[in-house]
């Protein structure tokens, strides 16, 4: 037996962490100059496997510390403390267009981190590694409570932080695919914000009646938060991504009911018919998609131009000059799905003209794409996508270059949390 096998010591600390926490991967007890591949493997709930790997050479003390030492190649290179997570990609032979998303947020993501001898690029599953550990990544901190909300015709889930509260609240909206997506809300609750994630495109009521909800549906969700005994009704924010951002901006400016402390829009646009609500917005997109959808050589669909050029007609964009609370815009400059960057520029102009641009913060990331998710979420440039406006799945191009996009996710999350903290916990009043 090769006795060297059991010399290697691998530790990942913490072994149980929240998904936005960093970990330290440390390999010890090998000889100086020892070549190794550190490998991460994750088997998703839907059965697909994802992997990442990097090549390292041990230093003079026989150690590799992923947060300090450079990867010499693999799915990432250079010094990347969390590269083993954000560079995860479907294993060879997988279906194209996969996207890694946790559905059941009450259990952790399990990632196996292993060390293989030598600098390898494939065939990991056919070998026995030198050593391996299991790491848990959680979307929910201990005793964050998950409460399904079905009252008043809503399809939503409320996540309450642990402790007595009361807590500031947040309404969380996702994009054009619909469904009820819980992981971001669960994570925000783990940071002390009572978060309600709302399915507004495919809720029970729409599935049953075939009709899109109106703006009162959103206001109902807001009310549920506002009136909850463990939520501070005067400290509620709203966060939307993609189509969710369109809805968010509409509500933030025009709703008489909602009094938001602050608003966050990720990869969003203000371009939409002011009159009406979802039905009109989706029609607007559908009509434009007939002439403005582009398809590239790889058969990937680019919806970026659907809302371009940015209209000058005020009836076609949310009047952000009337916004009365702080707005954070997060945009990827390589967004191929939505003209978030162009919209941000236009929104800035509108707010400068109106005199409320001091409320605006824009975080614009070169080479980042559309899907700006919580940190260390693996980046995919294009995935299989079925939007509520289409009948068949397409390969939607989101854009972004992996390293830049991953940096953007990490930076944007940190700044989003700080923005929310400042506006939800600070004592300055909404509006001036």
Partner 1 sequence: MIGTDSHFLNTSQNHHQVNVCSTVPAACGQRDALQTPRLSTMSQTVPPVLSVHPSRSLVDEKLKVLVENLPPGSPVTLHSLHRSEDEHYWEAYGHYVSDHRGIVSVAEDSSVGGTYTGIESMGLLWSMRPVPGSRKGLRLRKMNVRSPMLFNISVYNGLITEGFREQTPLASALIERWYMAPGVQRIDIREKGVRGTLFIPPGPGPFPGLLDMWGGGGGLLEYRSSLLASRGFASFALEYFNSGELESAELEFSYFENAFSIVKDHPQVIPDKIGIFGLSLGSIMTVYLAAESTIVKPLCCVCVSASHFYPPGKNLHGVYEVMTMKPHMIRVDENGHHAWRDMGLEIIKEPSYRINVEKINCPMLLVNGLDDQNWPSVECADEIAQIMSAAGKGDLVTRLHYPDTGHLIEPPFSPHFRATKFKTATGKQKVILLWGGQTKPHSDAQEDSWRKILSFLQHHLYSRETPKARM
Minimal distance, residue 130 CB to partner 1, in Å: 8
Whether the CB-CB separation of 410 and 375 falls below 8 Å is answered with yes
Instruction: Please tell me whether residue 359 binds partner 1 under the rule CB under 8 A.
Output: no
Tokens of 251: 């509500």
Tokens of 331: 């945009």
Binding mask 225-264 for partner 1 (x = CB under 8 A): ----x--xxxx-----------------------------
Minimal distance, residue 383 CB to partner 1, in Å: 29
List the interface residues with partner 1, window 134-173 (CB under 8 A). 134-136, 138, 141-143, 162-166, 168
Query: Which string of DSSP letters, residue by residue, matches 269-313?
Result: --BS-SSS-HHHHHHHHHHHHHHH-EE-TT--EE-GGGGPSPP--
Residue span binding partner 1 (CB under 8 A) among the ranges 88-96, 132-140, 210-218, 341-349: 132-140
Catalytically active residues, by annotation: 242, 335, 370
CA distances from 355 to 250, 347, 429 (A): 19, 12, 18
- Contacts by residues 100-107 (CB-CB < 8 Å, ≥ 24 positions apart): 100/42, 100/44, 100/50, 100/377, 100/378, 100/380, 101/181, 101/183, 102/45, 102/139, 102/183, 103/45, 103/182, 104/45, 105/139, 105/140, 105/146, 105/182, 105/183, 105/186, 106/140, 106/146
Instruction: Please tell me whether residue 422 binds partner 1 under the rule CB under 8 A.
Output: yes
Minimal distance, residue 426 CB to partner 1, in Å: 7
Binding mask 26-45 for partner 1 (x = CB under 8 A): ---xxx--x-----------
Phi, psi dihedral angles at 273 (to 5 degrees): -65, 130
Instruction: Please tell me whether residue 95 binds partner 1 under the rule CB under 8 A.
Output: no
List the interface residues with partner 1, window 65-84 (CB under 8 A). none
In terms of Cα–Cα distance, which of 114, 111, 93 is closest to 102? Answer: 111
Instruction: Please tell me whether residue 24 binds partner 1 under the rule CB under 8 A.
Output: no
Instruction: Please tell me whether residue 121 binds partner 1 under the rule CB under 8 A.
Output: no
Instruction: Please tell me whether residue 18 binds partner 1 under the rule CB under 8 A.
Output: yes
Instruction: Please tell me whether residue 110 binds partner 1 under the rule CB under 8 A.
Output: yes
Please give the residue ranges that form the binding site for partner 1 (CB under 8 A).
2-7, 9-10, 13-18, 21, 29-31, 34, 62, 110, 112, 114, 117-118, 128-136, 138, 141-143, 162-166, 168, 190, 192, 229, 232-235, 421-422, 424-428
């Amino acid at each position: 037996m090769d006795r060297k096998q059991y010399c290697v010591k691998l530790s990942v600390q913490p072994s149980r962490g929240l998904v936005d926490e960093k970990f330290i991967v440390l390999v010890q007890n090998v000889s100086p100059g020892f070549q190794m591949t550190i490998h991460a493997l994750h088997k998703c709930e839907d059965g697909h496997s994802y992997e990442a790997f990097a090549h390292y050479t041990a230093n003079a003390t026989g150690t590799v510390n992923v947060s300090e030492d450079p990867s010499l190649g693999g799915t990432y290179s250079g010094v990347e403390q969390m590269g083993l997570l954000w560079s995860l990609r479907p294993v060879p032979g997988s279906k194209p267009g996969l996207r890694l998303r946790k559905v059941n947020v009450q259990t952790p993501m399990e990632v196996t981190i292993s060390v293989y001898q030598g600098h390898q690029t494939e065939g990991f599953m056919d070998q026995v590694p030198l050593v391996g550990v299991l790491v848990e990544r959680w979307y929910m901190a201990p005793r964050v409570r998950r409460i399904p909300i079905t009252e008043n015709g809503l399809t939503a889930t409320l996540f309450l932080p642990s402790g007595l509260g009361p807590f500031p609240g947040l309404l969380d909206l996702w994009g054009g695919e619909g469904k009820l997506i819980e992981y971001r809300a669960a994570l925000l609750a783990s940071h002390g914000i009572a978060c309600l994630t709302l399915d507004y495109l495919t809720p029970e009521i729409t599935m049953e009646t075939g009709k899109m909800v109106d703006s009162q549906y959103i206001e109902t969700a807001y009310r549920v938060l506002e009136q909850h005994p463990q939520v501070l009704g005067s400290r509620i924010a709203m966060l939307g991504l993609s189509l969710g951002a369109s809805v968010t901006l509409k509500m933030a400016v025009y709703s008489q009911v909602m009094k938001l402390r602050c608003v966050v829009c990720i990869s969003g646009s203000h371009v939409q018919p002011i009159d009406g609500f979802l039905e009109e917005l989706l029609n607007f997109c559908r009509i434009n998609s007939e002439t403005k959808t582009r398809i590239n050589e790889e058969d990937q669909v680019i919806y970026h131009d659907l809302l371009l050029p940015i209209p000058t007609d005020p009836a076609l964009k949310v009047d952000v000059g009337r916004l009365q609370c702080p707005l954070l815009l997060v945009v990827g400059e390589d967004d191929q799905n939505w003209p978030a960057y162009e919209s941000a520029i236009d929104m800035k102009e509108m707010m400068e003209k109106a005199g409320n641009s001091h409320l605006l913060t824009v975080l614009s990331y070169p080479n980042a794409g559309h899907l700006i998710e919580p940190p260390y979420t693996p980046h995919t440039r294009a995935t299989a996508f079925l939007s509520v406006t289409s009948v068949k799945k397409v390969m939607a191009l989101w854009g972004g270059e992996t390293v830049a996009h991953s940096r953007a996710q990490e930076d944007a999350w940190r700044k989003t949390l700080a923005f929310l903290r400042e506006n939800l916990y600070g004592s300055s009043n909404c509006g001036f």
